[in-house]
Chain A
Amino acid sequence: MTWATREIAGWGRVLRAEAALARPERQRTARALAENAPVPALGRRRSYGDACLADRAMLTERLDRVLAFDPETGTLEAEGGVMLGDLAARLAPQGWLPPVMPGTGFATVGGAIAMDVHGKNHHHAGAFCAHVERLTLATPAGPVEVTPDDPLFALTAGGLGQTGPILKATIRLARVRGDVMMVTERRMADLDTFCDALDASDAPYTVGWIDATATGPALGRGILEEGEVAKGLVPPAKRGRTVPLDAPGFALSAPVVRTFNAAYLRRVPARGRTVVRPIADYFFPLDKIHDWNRLYGKHGFHQFQCVVPTDARGALRAMLERIGTAGLASPLAVLKRLGPGAGHPMSFPVDGYTLAVDLPARDGADRLLAALNAATAEAGGRVYLAKDSSLTAEQAHAMYPGRATWAEAVNARDPERAYETALVRRLRLREPA
């Protein structure tokens, strides 16, 4: 059978859909599907909102093979459904890593391109698509090979799957010296200290954990983690614990989170420390708890992620104040510095500070999200569509000024809008100007 009906959800589990899903196992069947019944592709559905929801879709999870790897040059060709975490685990011992890794190793090559994902090294390496040499799209007219100089590449990079399923891609890997991470952790007293340290850091990988429950003078306090790949021996990452059921509401209630965050901060001594960690633990800290999204209970959660220009620290402060006083914050909040954008119209990363925070879907979450979205727009920033569940169409259109031109080009290729996802519809991303 080609189609199976399944309930699917974004990673935040707030938005859900019933979908007819095809799951090709071979390039041949994927191509035939794309020719006879064009539908968007879905990977491992790690987007938080509705970017990974559609009525009809093609799952790429069985298109998961590495087609070529040159250990001399570090060029790798993979099918669209290959997970970056699998690549990292197999490549690091050979001295290579995927050039850009998002916070979960379950992200697929196709998803990494469609969201133009960024990692802890964006300030040096740019986003994922900067390292793509070639990709193959499945289209109704047959497979189309796209290189970065083709205008279709810019439409596809961060293009939310709207140019068709990515059958395979060739990426340039990053050379690394070993397969462990040397991580220096330092406490940051407040937001300004944090932003200054992020600006000054020249470590290859930099990320900040922020205590989103702190208010007053401690607002914006947290831990700066600077990492580099090193040689060494550490016990292998422990994998595979599973959250067996939806956690009760109090598990991540405000007092619990406040206590947890304070303890988490004190874990790092005041003078800082350097630790050695398995690569997977550093890049994908939550992946070792399978289905960790169930910790937020059956109502699920939202993730808000924005980037604001470097001169908008005031806006960041105002957002953190709102988050801190809303009593909704989760333990997971991240502050990072992004480097210059790649210029692809729908690609998220642009120069600035990016703040990401999980918000349990409880009373008040919608109001808080609306305020954060508005504050982002006002600061001249943008929200990451792979995370979004709450923008308005008008806000999205203003945040991505290249959208209308992009929509026109994408619509010309797919006039029936067969590749539209729930996110694209909700935000009317393919509406002509």
Chain B
Amino acid sequence: MSGPERASSSARGETWLVLGASSAMARALARALADEGAALILAGRDDDDLAALAADCRFRGAAAAEAMRWDARDPATIAPLVERLERAEGTANAAVFAGSMPPQAEIDADPALIAGVAADSFTGPAQVLSRVAPLIEARGAGTIVGVASVAGDRGRVGNYVYGAAKAAFATYLSGLRNRLTRSGGHVVTVKPGFVDTAMTWGLPGMFLVAPPEAVAASILKAVRRQRNVIYTPFFWRYIMMIIRAVPEPIFKKLSI
């Protein structure tokens, strides 16, 4: 059980736009922010679920929490989100948890799926963030959290389309950080390893699976300390260091 013991008001005065807010990791971060008194705009496609999360966040102490519709593949849903964030007082912040990972075999059978994966994991969220960036620049403060993936660190046979989209998103975040740092903003790139979510539940071959609450806690810590790129749990940094160090002539023959 988690009581409100650690509740403080360190996020009071902050408004967070959370994209893909129905995911287990996003839910955990939204709740952690609610505990700290932040205001939340929870965006995604499952209206009922987002409304439930918004109610829960208000119960936990969020200054405000509301659900808004956002579809990574529908650019028309972007403007209302950004306008809402613009109207909010205090600092404007955004966290992206969106992404989709159809099995690689399905993509191989129907390469048209690649466009959807790219939209969900990269081009959709990036279009929102590029509209949030001017807000942060104008106010001279604000943080963007982008959830990439260890899958983006090296293309592997099992999920290289997803990995490619996440790698593109990570590169985008790196550039955005470079841009926003000039005006007092900040971007945290988060690369989670295996997290205990509906996506990984029951999958074979999972190990060292982290609870979403632990991931959310490490994200918040990274935000407060203005870290640039974090792996979560931390040891994935070293796992990926090794995986990236494998020479390509060898790597191409591996199936990991």
Contacts and interface: CB of A to CB of B under 8 A. Distances in A.
B67 to A, nearest CB: 12
Interface stretch (A82-90, A145-153, A200-208): A82-90
A105 to B, nearest CB: 6
A28 B44 CA distance: 14
B55 A66 contact: yes
Interface stretch (A19-27, A332-340, A356-364, A405-413): A19-27
A62 interface: yes
Interface string B214-245: 00000000000000000000000000000000
A25 B59 contact: no
A68 interface: yes
A127 B7 CA distance: 32
Contacts of A4: 201-202
Contacts of B55: 65-68
Contacts of B49: 26-28
Contact of B1 (A1, A79, A83): A83
B3 A26 contact: no
Contacts, number: 68
Contacts of A89: 1, 3-5
B56 interface: yes
Interface in A81-134: 83, 85-86, 89-90, 93, 105-106
A143 to B, nearest CB: 11
A27 B4 contact: no
Given A26-B22, A86-B2, A65 B202 contact: no
A250 interface: no
A403 to B, nearest CB: 34
A400 interface: no
A86 B4 CA distance: 9
Nearest to A31: B48
B65 to A, nearest CB: 11
B1 A29 contact: no
B28 to A, nearest CB: 11
B128 interface: no
A29 B4 contact: no
Chain A contact residues: helix, strand, loop or mixed: mixed
Interface in A49-81: 62, 65-69, 79
A2 B202 contact: yes
B27 to A, nearest CB: 8
B66 interface: no
A104 B3 CA distance: 14
B12 interface: no
Nearest to B51: A67
Contact of A28 (B3, B48, B53, B56): B48
A24 B49 CA distance: 12
A90 B4 contact: yes
Helix, strand, loop or mixed for chain B's interface?
loop
Interface residues of A, number: 31
Contacts of A83: 1
B246 interface: no
B198 A23 contact: yes
A79 B4 contact: no
A139 to B, nearest CB: 18
A367 interface: no
A90 B3 contact: yes
Nearest to B35: A90
A4 B198 CA distance: 11
B73 interface: no
A27 B5 contact: no
A287 interface: yes
A64 to B, nearest CB: 8
B179 interface: no
Contacts of A1: 201-203
Contacts of A239: 1, 3, 5
Nearest to A85: B1
Contacts of B5: 89, 236, 239
B113 interface: no
Contacts of B59: 66, 69, 90
B60 interface: yes
Interface in B14-29: 22, 24, 27
B153 interface: no
B52 A67 contact: yes
B48 A65 contact: no
A28 B52 CA distance: 11
A280 interface: yes
Contacts of B86: none
B137 interface: no
A3 interface: yes
A68 to B, nearest CB: 6
Given A25-B198, A79-B52, A105 B1 contact: yes
Interface of A: 1-5, 23-29, 62, 65-69, 79, 83, 85-86, 89-90, 93, 105-106, 236, 239, 280, 287
8 contacts: A1-B201, A2-B202, A25-B198, A26-B22, A29-B198, A65-B53, A66-B59, A236-B5
Given A26-B22, A86-B2, A89-B3, 9 more contacts: A23-B201, A25-B27, A25-B198, A65-B56, A86-B3, A90-B3, A90-B59, A93-B4, A239-B3
